[in-house]
Homo-oligomer: A and B are copies of this chain.
Amino acid sequence: MSERPLYIQVNPRDNVAIIVNAGGLEPGAEFSSGLALVESIPQSHKVALENILEGAPVVRYGEVIGQAARNIPRGAWVSEELVTLPDAPSLESAPLATAVPPPPPALDGFTFEGYRNADGTVGTKNLLGITTTVQCVAPTVEFAVRRIRAEILPRYPHVDDVLALTYPYGCGVAINAPGAEIPIRTIANYARNPNFAGDPLVVSLGCEKMQPARLTGAGLPVLHDEPWLVRLQDEQYFGFGDMVEAIMNLAEKRIARLSRRERVTCPASDLVVGLQCGGSDAFSGVTANPAVGYAADLLVRAGATVMFSEVTEVRDAIHLLTPRAASPDVATALIGEMKWYDDYLRRGGADRSANPTPGNKRGGLANIVEKALGSIAKSGSTAIQAVASPGERVSAKGLVFLATPASDFICGTLQTAAGMNMHVFTTGEGTPYGLAAVPVIKVSSRTELAERWPDLIDVDAGAIATGLATIEGVGWEIFRFILGAASGRKKTWSDYWGLHNAPALFNPAPVT
């Protein structure tokens, strides 16, 4: 990045700004504004633009991110411990749909090449997913999948892969307890992700608590007359060899069917894009996330579905989101998800201060308020059309809030279950994240990261910080990358290396 001292002030009301220069700046460093540092400040950490008195608000993004713990002189480092955590925004007084953005201008003519499914969804990969009802059967299905990959897939080059969808769930759980519906519907909806052709194949043990009927009851479809279920305890199977053969036989029928499909031209409105951030830093909210937000606006304009998530990372900015809800009902649903999570954390003896991470703090994020203000930039500027609960499938078009934990793996799993066919992931500290089911485009918030991880980062948004790139420009780059990867023309780095995080369930109910 630039050699001359540079900071980013997001909003004219801000009394702090973040240091852009790689390696940070030393005392005496002077900015073009005339501000001079009185102490050294690491990159992406905050400098006081004016004297901030003890107890006075610290303002970034035009919002109060906390109060000064003591007097902070102009030019000093506003480090994490100098910013006291304010109360969370009130849910009772949040404004409901008071500033609904008008529909954005339509963006026509953008298409991608996808696999159209019987249920109307479109796949961006052509995968067989083998769903499991209980972890007991996981090693058997994994064994079968190894053989399928070696013996069957080579004959069907149009099929991308076969995946064992396994979970530490299905038995030894309080399956009727409050919250148990979340993992059950997650597994059911994950099984019908568009990239599995919306067409589940299920392996069950037989004696488990999560009987297959619980999955069909939670929305798992049965599309064919042909068998869709292997139950290992069934008396027809004599030993392990029979079980594996049964799975392989059913799998080959499905693979043959998948192999006959061709990519067809689909409008961009068939995209269902999940947005997430992980390993964020103070740049995330000014480079990668706003660029993704711009891409989100383009997608919404093209008629697509765009999901943003991560309850604990929007909770402290909820007063900025409820006005954008398309209706008071949508705003109320949004508040309902926040309340549910507040209660969930309280029941577990935790609160919102459990976020951010050590790495977020190292990256300059003082607390969850500052993190949330940066996080919601991913949502762009359009109206929030719908709200979905964890594990639910999303059918609305436009911008949707899907309530999930902020955990990368759990959020990715829940967005997959919601029907995501493309995933965009922003990172500041860097993580070699990926999903087997859906292409993951990783966007860096800092150019240093993109340069150090050239074979993991797909798009660099860092140059926005120095003015060498614009939010709009990187936003268009992400939008085009989505269309390319959705068409199978561009390969994400995680797919290139086969870096795929296992599905991780959100189960708020007890195990037994």
Contact = CB atoms under 8 A, between A and B. Distances in A.
B135 A409 contact: yes
A104 interface: no
Contacts of A411: 172
B499 A177 contact: no
Interface string A157-183: 000000000101001111111110000
A456 interface: yes
B239 A502 contact: no
A510 interface: yes
A439 interface: no
A105 B461 CA distance: 72
A99 interface: no
Interface in A238-267: 238-241, 243
A355 interface: yes
Interface stretch (A55-63, A73-81, A426-434): A426-434
Contact of A171 (B171, B233, B407, B456): B407
B409 A350 contact: no
Interface string A469-512: 00000000000000000000000011001111110111011111
Contacts of A429: 205-207, 233
Contact of A136 (B179, B205, B408): B408
A355 B172 CA distance: 8
A206 to B, nearest CB: 6
A124 interface: no
Contact of A168 (B178, B409, B508): B409
Contact of A406 (B172, B312, B354, B453): B172
Interface residues of A, number: 84
Contacts of A207: 279, 357-360, 362-363, 429-431
Contacts of A430: 206-207, 232-233
A193 B178 CA distance: 35
B172 A409 contact: yes
A483 to B, nearest CB: 25
B208 A174 contact: no
B455 A138 contact: no
A512 B405 contact: yes
B499 A140 contact: yes
- The winner among A235, A357, A511 for most chain B CB atoms within 10 A is A511
B498 A139 contact: yes
Contacts of A350: 174, 176-177, 509-510, 512
B502 A135 contact: yes
A510 B232 contact: no
Interface string A341-366: 00011011110001101111011000
16 contacts: A138-B502, A139-B494, A139-B500, A172-B409, A179-B349, A206-B430, A207-B362, A209-B357, A232-B430, A240-B432, A240-B453, A240-B493, A241-B455, A348-B508, A405-B511, A502-B502
Q: Which 3 A-B pairs have the closest CB atoms?
A: A207-B359, A172-B407, A348-B510
